Amino acid sequence: MESKHSFSAEDTRIIKGVAILLMLFHHLLVSPDNYPYGTAFKTFISFNGTSLSYGISKFGNFCVSLFAFLGGYSIYKCYKKPHFFTNKLLTLYKNYWKIFFIFIPIGFIFFGNQAPHANANYINNVYSHFEFKGFILNLIGINYTYNSEWWFFIFYVKAVFLGLIFIRVFEKNDSYYKEILGIVVFIILLRLLYALGSIETFSGVLKDDIALIFQNHGNMATVFMGIVFSKYNLLDRVIGWLHDLPLMARKGLSILVIVAVFIYRYGMAMDYVLVPLFVTALFELFGYSRVTRKGLGFLGKNSSNMYYTHTFYIFYFGAVAKLIYKPNNAIVCYIIFVAVCLVGSVLINKFYELCSKKITIYNQRNSTEEAQ
């Protein structure tokens, strides 16, 4: 079947926009221990004793799998470029450090001695004590004690490296069946190693080694699946097939897929199967409207900054967290949270654009003076 649509970088930003919205909802509401003291959300809709907002927030960690899939998709699209790994690594560190060098000093200067503001002690006094070794390890991303959600940075560094190995292993292969089977074998093998690690003789060793290399084998499998879908244009083909259906049928099927994934998803282990279906459904619902493309695309463009900064606002900077949670209404708090993250991202970009312009003007002025 010929593809009628080529899944582009702009389309990727749309899915990233949805993913970052899920991430923000997840971290805002999923753990009551992280709420500032005095927060008490009212429950308006619940099923079997579980509020709808909590259910959505729990599902929100699906965002990690969406980002992993899109990461693998991008790796395959770009891996043939000269010095791909080096340039990708530099880009990752550039995006990481531009947040690090703003928010970590703010943390130590303004929030080092803040009073406890939540039951989760790990977020109360992260910046109360400066240690040079810890600073360096966080700076290069090996540790993420300054922000526990920054684990995805080093995971993605590993994903780029292992993704390139995956591409090389199947470089001469021309069947996506074999590559998907390879992913299934990868999952089964690592699960067997985990089971072996539970035996007393090997207790802890294998699990620690696997975690060191793969960090999360379910997410790594999703990265590999993104590579396969990119290599064989499977996403384009599935989107094209769905779009050939009558309007109501394809919209209804897309909604059904999203609801089914929401209800029946079990952890991250099978996300490498669910994510392509979910992405296709999302694109059908939001990918053809100019309004949603523009809005979600803008969020997707800012998703990196929003990912790196959002937990500072609701976890580590107590005074800011209290303001965001103050309305005690989940939806209102969420809207405020998204706005804070988005405005923060725009301001960060503007700040670095201004710095870049100042440096350019300074260099031009020095060049002119030397020429004279």
Q: How high is the pLDDT of residue 2?
A: 44
Domain boundaries, the chain: 9-371
- From residue 267, how far is each of 61, 165, 225, 276 by CA, in Å? 9, 26, 17, 16
Give the pLDDT band (50/70/90) at residue 364.
confident
Rg, C-alpha atoms of the chain:
22
**What span, in angstroms and rounded, lies between the C-alpha atoms of 231 and 133?**
41
- Which residues does 66 contact at the CB level (< 8 Å), separation at least 6? 15, 16, 18, 19, 22, 275, 278, 279
Mean pLDDT, rounded, for 121-134: 92
Mean pLDDT, rounded, for 138-145: 95
Q: Phi and psi dihedrals of 74, rounded to 5?
A: -70, -40
Tokens matching residue 149: 């959600």
Q: Phi and psi dihedrals of 47, rounded to 5?
A: -130, 120
Q: How high is the pLDDT of residue 49?
A: 65
Contact 28, 314 (CB under 8 A): yes
Q: How many C-beta atoms lie closer than 10 Å to residue 275's C-beta?
A: 25
- Which residues does 20 contact at the CB level (< 8 Å), separation at least 6? 63, 299, 300, 302, 303, 306, 307
Give the pLDDT band (50/70/90) at residue 186.
confident
